[in-house]
């Protein structure tokens, strides 16, 4: 995984795709599906086999498509000690020397790769089955074919980024296991320093002070410091904490956007949000009426709780407005890429115009109970302020001055 400069907005490193065959081929097949009678839209239709084959051919992901009443969703394959991701003979070790060897060989533990330039996965990642679930209504409802493809690309983005991250996580966990075992036999500062030098090299921990840390005879202290350095390094590379729950969905949105479907993802989501009576899409009178109704319903705990839960934000998602802004920022990020053609710039500017107009229609209001809770709870207030800080930094990185500079350059 490459490091981004502090001015990069992206959280993962798939390149912007300028001739995305995956996007184009999915769209061509999806347009055919939209022409089918609704009764023929099911997983047995050959066109859904074509979609799965396209995903396999263009990404390497072993896709199966299930069409029915649930979704859009994806079933991510679980990874544990019995998973083929790990080389069996390297799962177990018994001596401190084996621990050192595991640290040194950590990069070879994952028998597969993720090409961040082309979007292809290889090796064991092509063997793991991934199920995609799409509802019939997605192909026979309010979405356009382009918006349906945007939804598909979002779901494809989940396993793709998962595989990218699991290569790092598997390597990191292997190194930490090796570190723990190697430290069992380290009874001198010199031996601990040698182990930490190997760990620092394997995990590329540029800020780890191995000489100072080796002076500690506490195995737990050493492990905690190393793990802290890993988290700090990861935050530095990604621009955010990967343990932030919303990152899971934001990464998938980013993948779809870098595949050229950002605008379609956003417009499709807007239709779904409106259809679900989302709080961010209510008019001011409707918002005030709903909040007043909650206050009246407080005498009935069951109804009151149901209404509050209806409007409670999901831990997995940003609010609609914030989600659209992140997609918009990715389009702005794309404009900074060198050697863009005039057609690319025109397309991206049109995407920005549509996204900016749509964002103006969204009001990410909070429930009265959320406002009260954020006021009285120090932790909730702290979390909200941290989230706002991150969003402000992302907005700063996607400053419109960069967009204006690109357009002025084209006029020169």
Q: What is the pLDDT of residues 27-39, one digit of tens each?
A: 999 999 999 999 8
From 208, 238, 268, give the residue that closes a domain: 238
Is the pLDDT confidence value at 398 over 90? no
Residue 233 structural domain: 21-238
My answer on whether 56 and 164 are in the same domain is: yes
**By three-state DSSP, how is residue 66 classified?**
strand
Q: How many domains does the chain have?
A: 2
Mean pLDDT of 287-294: 90
Question: 121: left (phi > 0), else alpha (psi -120 to 50), else beta?
Answer: beta
Structure confidence at residue 58 as a pLDDT band (50, 70, 90): very high
Closest CA to 76 of 176, 165, 174, 173: 165
Where a domain ends, among 211, 238, 265? 238
Burial (CB count within 10 angstroms: exposed 0-12, middle 13-18, buried 19+), residue 143: buried
The reply to whether 226 falls in a domain is yes
39 lies in the same domain as 153: yes
The reported pTM is 0.74
In 3D space, the residue among 154, 116, 129 whose CA is nearest the CA of residue 23 turns out to be 154
Answer yes or no: is 250 within a domain.
no
Evaluate whether residue 388 is within a structural domain. Answer: yes
Q: Is pLDDT at 312 greater than 60 in this prediction? A: yes
Domain membership flag for residue 254: no
| CA pair distance 159, 143, nearest whole angstrom | 23
Q: Is 265 contained in some domain?
A: no
Q: How far apart are CA 328 and CA 374, in angstroms?
A: 28
Residues 348 and 399 grouped into a single domain: yes
Instruction: Please indicate, yes or no, if residue 162 is contained in any of the structural domains.
Output: yes
**Which has more pLDDT, 294 or 245?**
294
Q: What is the pLDDT of residue 410?
A: 57
**Residue with the larger pLDDT of the pair 106 and 341:** 341
- Do 227 and 303 belong together in one domain? no
**Do 187 and 315 belong together in one domain?**
no
Do 102 and 202 belong together in one domain? yes
Please tell me whether residues 220 and 292 are part of one structural domain: no
Residue 317 has pLDDT above 80, yes or no: no
200, 89: one domain: yes
Whether 234 is covered by a domain: the verdict is yes
Q: What angle do CA 260, 241, 232 make, to 5 degrees?
A: 125
Same domain? For 231 and 291 the reply is no
Residue 253 lies in a domain: no
Same domain as 295, residue 201:
no
pLDDT of residue 245: 57
User: pLDDT higher for 130 or 95?
Assistant: 130
Give the pLDDT confidence score for residue 117 in this predicted structure: 85
- pLDDT at residue 411 in the model: 55
Which candidate, 69, 37, 32, places its Cα nearest to that of 49? 32
């Amino acid at each position: 995984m490459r490091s981004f400069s502090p001015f990069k907005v992206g959280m993962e490193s798939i390149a912007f795709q300028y001739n995305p065959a995956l996007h184009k081929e999915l769209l061509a097949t999806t347009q055919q599906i939209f022409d089918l009678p609704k009764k023929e839209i099911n997983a047995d239709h050959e066109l859904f086999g074509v979609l799965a084959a396209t995903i396999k051919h263009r990404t390497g992901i072993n896709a199966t498509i299930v069409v029915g009443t649930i979704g859009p969703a994806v079933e991510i394959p679980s990874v544990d000690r019995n998973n083929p991701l790990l080389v069996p003979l390297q799962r177990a070790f018994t001596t401190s020397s084996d621990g050192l060897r595991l640290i040194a060989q950590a990069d070879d533990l994952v028998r597969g790769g993720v090409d961040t330039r082309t979007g292809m996965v290889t090796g064991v990642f092509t063997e793991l089955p991934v199920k995609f679930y799409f509802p019939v209504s997605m192909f026979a409802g309010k979405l356009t074919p382009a918006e349906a493809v945007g939804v598909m690309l979002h779901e494809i983005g989940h396993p793709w980024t998962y595989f990218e991250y699991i290569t790092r996580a598997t390597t990191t966990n292997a190194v930490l296991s090796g570190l723990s075992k190697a430290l069992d036999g380290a009874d001198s500062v010199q031996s601990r320093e040698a182990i930490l030098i190997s760990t620092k090299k394997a995990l590329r921990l540029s800020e780890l002070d191995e000489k100072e840390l080796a002076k500690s005879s506490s195995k737990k202290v050493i492990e905690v410091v190393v793990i802290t350095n890993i988290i700090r390094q990861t935050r530095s590379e990604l621009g955010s904490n990967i343990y932030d729950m919303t990152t899971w969905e934001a990464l998938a949105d980013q993948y779809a956007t870098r595949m050229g479907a950002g605008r379609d993802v956003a417009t499709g989501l807007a239709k779904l949000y409106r259809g679900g009576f989302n709080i961010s899409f209510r008019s001011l009178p409707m918002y005030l009426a709903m909040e007043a109704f909650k206050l009246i319903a407080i005498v009935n705990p069951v109804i009151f709780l149901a209404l509050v839960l209806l409007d409670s934000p999901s831990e997995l998602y940003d609010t609609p407005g914030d989600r659209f802004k992140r997609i918009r920022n990715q389009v702005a990020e794309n404009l900074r890429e060198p050697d863009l053609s005039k057609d690319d710039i025109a397309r991206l500017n049109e995407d920005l115009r549509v996204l900016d107009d749509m964002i103006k229609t969204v009001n990410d209001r909070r429930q009265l109970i959320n406002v009260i809770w954020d006021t009285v709870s120090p932790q909730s207030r702290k979390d909200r302020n941290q989230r706002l800080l991150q969003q402000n930094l992302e907005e700063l990185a996607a400053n419109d001055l960069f967009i204006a500079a690109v357009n002025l350059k084209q006029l020169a």
